[in-house]
């Protein structure tokens, strides 16, 4: 996830204006293009080394909260519908965990209580904006420095020094030890079980590299007898983590989306005929991550490969990798979202294609030809904010003209949808049209989706976003002002549950 980035980059103070409504107002849609009802539009908010949030360690709780709210402002201005927030960057926690110490990236001192519960705050505030919250974990990285003595005295790595491997100036948990694999799952599931999180997310780091210099020889001697070589054993260890995480998430919180954002190349065709027409680093071989296999075996709800290359790049062409990944995902029930390199667009030192203001928007235009692609996640939040060359602004104008519901996981699509809400009135006022409604039944919706038409609606009108004007937080009551509404407009509202299922639309209310 951090490849090619200056890791010490920190988020500057932001001046993003607070939008007037909870999510995006409607915009234009390109001629001949029907905007999708559902589309992942996310951004990664990185905490390791204080890359995005908090911008530096030791901020007061109020300062940390203000910074996070500014990131949510940004998400809304850019018409996103999800954030992926790193809450366990180095075997530590952004919540009061019984397993691992408080993160040093909060206070500057590992184990020091920040004075509030950051995870509770960020989940609640994210949902208040009508956005979904994906908790981003790094499973095995323990520290960005190599001395175990610098860990908190109660850190699991201090209590179990045999769990730790030092490599490349960093510390890692040993993925080859079954007790370690169980522990890291327990540590992550603690957050999933205790908070109203919408997704559990891993990035691309498992084993750091394919080399015996990562010294797991003792664990291999003890547990690897049934494997032909070290690489096959390591790959199986990562497979077990992925498969077991799926089982635990579905058993505990079946409506939580579980997925991984791996590096964008599984294997090159020259290595494996099933691989892509590329010549870059291979996750299967270099990181012991069989990303294609996870999709084909259905072990994930989604995969978000980091296709951080430009269209036409000789060793890794975006235009070749999108159809390759689309073919991998086709028919599997695993959603395909694309990790986009906002950090490269307009950045100093990047090759000429990244200096073109339309490079990123061309990526999303290409994606439209591949229906398996269900959206994008942008790295990182600071680059989405900085908008060098206006590249992000152009993506929003060209592709995010309408709001979008979050993707619906195929395994949950057959569940019971929420009850139909009631739309009580649509009244013209100085700000546009005020729409009010109420949810029915005991289970309150997670969100409301508001549609505006200039004619009588048909069922087809609720299967795409051409008439969708807003997605707002749920609850018992709906109150929303449509700034573009006019007298005579016809409104409907639907209820959305935590899984993303949509109710039948309410009866029509005409603005008067």
The answer to whether 320 and 312 are in contact (CB under 8 A) is no
482-492 average pLDDT score: 97
With CA atoms as reference, report the closest residue to 457 among 406, 399, 500, 509.
Answer: 509
In the chain the domains, ranked by start, together with CATH numbers, are: 40-137+177-409 (3.20.20.80), 422-510 (2.60.40.10)
Distance CA 395, CA 126 (A): 23
Give φ, ψ of 76 to 5 degrees. -70, -40
- Residue identified by tokens 């996070």 is 68
* Residues 6+ away with beta carbon under 8 Å from 347: 354, 388
The answer to whether 329 and 321 are in contact (CB under 8 A) is no
Give φ, ψ of 433 to 5 degrees. -130, 120
Q: How, if at all, do strands 335-341 and 302-303 pair?
A: parallel
pLDDT for the residue 33:
79
Residue-wise pLDDT for 308-340, tens only, equals 999 999 999 999 999 999 999 999 999 999 999
Q: How far apart are the two ends of the chain, measured CA to CA in Å?
A: 51
**CA atoms lying within 13 Å on the CB side of residue 383:** 24
pLDDT band at 196 (very low <50, low <70, confident <90, very high): very high
Q: How far is CA 198 from the centre of its chain?
A: 10
- Written as six digits, the tokens of 414 are 């057959």
Residue-wise pLDDT for 394-440, tens only, equals 999 999 999 999 999 999 999 999 999 999 999 999 999 999 999 98
* Residues 6+ away with beta carbon under 8 Å from 226: none
- Residue identified by tokens 């952004």 is 94
- Residue identified by tokens 């009802």 is 37
106-129 average pLDDT score: 98
Measure Cα distances from 91 to 55, 176, 237, 268 in Å: 20, 16, 18, 32
**CA atoms lying within 13 Å on the CB side of residue 495:** 28
Residue-wise pLDDT for 156-188, tens only, equals 999 999 999 999 999 999 999 999 999 999 999
pLDDT for the residue 30:
52
Residues in the chain: 512
pLDDT for the residue 410:
95
Distance CA 218, CA 174 (A): 10
Please count the other Cβ atoms lying within 10 Å of the Cβ belonging to residue 261: 25
pLDDT band at 1 (very low <50, low <70, confident <90, very high): low
The answer to whether 61 and 116 are in contact (CB under 8 A) is yes
pLDDT band at 442 (very low <50, low <70, confident <90, very high): confident
Residue-wise pLDDT for 250-283, tens only, equals 999 999 999 999 999 999 999 999 999 999 999 9
- Is pLDDT of 69 > 90? yes
With CA atoms as reference, report the closest residue to 366 among 423, 306, 310.
Answer: 310
pLDDT for the residue 424:
94
pLDDT for the residue 24:
37
Residue-wise pLDDT for 5-63, tens only, equals 433 333 333 333 333 333 333 344 455 678 999 999 999 999 999 999 999 999 999 99
- For 47-198, list the strands marked E by DSSP: 82-88, 132-137, 141-143, 164-167, 170-173
Please count the other Cβ atoms lying within 10 Å of the Cβ belonging to residue 243: 15
Residue-wise pLDDT for 202-215, tens only, equals 998 899 999 999 99
Residue-wise pLDDT for 215-234, tens only, equals 999 999 999 999 999 999 99
**Which residues lie across from 260 on neighbouring strands?**
202, 303
């Amino acid at each position: 996830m951090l490849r090619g980035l200056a890791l010490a980059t920190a988020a500057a103070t932001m001046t993003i204006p607070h939008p007037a409504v909870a999510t995006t107002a409607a915009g234009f849609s390109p001629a001949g293009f029907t905007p999708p009802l559902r589309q992942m539009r996310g951004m990664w908010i990185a905490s390791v080394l204080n890359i995005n949030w908090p911008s530096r360690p030791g901020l007061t709780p109020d300062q940390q909260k203000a910074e996070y709210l500014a990131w949510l402002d940004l998400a809304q201005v850019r018409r996103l519908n999800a954030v992926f927030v790193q809450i366990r960057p180095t075997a530590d926690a952004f919540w009061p965990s019984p397993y691992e110490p408080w993160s040093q990236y909060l206070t500057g001192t590992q184990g020091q209580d920040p004075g509030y519960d950051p995870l509770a705050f960020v989940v609640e505030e994210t949902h208040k904006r009508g956005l979904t919250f994906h908790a981003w974990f790094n499973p095995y990285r323990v520290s960005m420095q190599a001395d175990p003595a610098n860990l908190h005295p109660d850190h699991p790595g201090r209590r179990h020094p045999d769990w730790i491997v030092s490599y490349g100036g960093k510390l890692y948990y040993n993925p080859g030890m079954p007790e370690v694999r169980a522990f890291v799952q327990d540590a992550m599931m603690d957050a999933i079980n205790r908070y109203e999180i919408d997704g559990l997310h891993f990035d691309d780091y498992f084993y750091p590299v394919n080399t015996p210099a990562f010294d797991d020889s003792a664990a291999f001697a003890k547990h690897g007898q049934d494997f032909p070589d070290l690489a096959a054993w390591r790959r199986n260890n990562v497979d077990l983590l992925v498969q077991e995480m799926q089982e635990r998430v579905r058993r505990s919180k079946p409506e939580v989306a579980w997925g991984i954002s791996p590096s964008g190349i599984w294997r090159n065709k020259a290595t494996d005929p099933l691989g892509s027409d590329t010549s870059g680093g291979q996750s299967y071989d270099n990181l012991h991550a069989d990303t294609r296999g996870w999709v084909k075996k259905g072990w994930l709800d989604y995969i978000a490969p980091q296709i951080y290359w430009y269209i036409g790049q000789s060793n890794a062409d975006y235009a070749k990798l999108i159809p390759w990944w689309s073919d991998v995902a086709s028919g599997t029930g695993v959603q395909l979202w694309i990790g986009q390199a906002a950090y490269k667009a307009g950045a100093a030192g990047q090759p000429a294609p990244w200096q073109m203001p339309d490079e990123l928007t061309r990526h999303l235009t290409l994606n439209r030809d591949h229906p398996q692609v269900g959206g994008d996640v942008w790295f990182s939040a600071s680059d989405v904010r900085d908008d060098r060359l206006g590249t992000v602004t152009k993506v929003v104008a060209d592709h995010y003209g309408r709001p979008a519901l979050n993707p619906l996981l195929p395994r949950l699509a057959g569940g019971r949808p929420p009850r139909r809400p009631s739309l009580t009135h649509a009244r013209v006022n100085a700000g546009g049209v005020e729409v009010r409604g109420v949810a029915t039944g005991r289970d309150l919706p997670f969100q409301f989706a508001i549609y505006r038409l200039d004619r009588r609606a048909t069922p087809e009108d609720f299967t795409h976003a051409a008439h969708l004007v807003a997605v707002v937080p749920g609850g018992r009551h709906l109150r929303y002002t449509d700034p573009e509404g006019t007298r005579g407009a016809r409104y409907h509202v639907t209820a959305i549950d935590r899984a993303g299922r949509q109710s039948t639309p309410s009866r029509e209310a005409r603005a008067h």
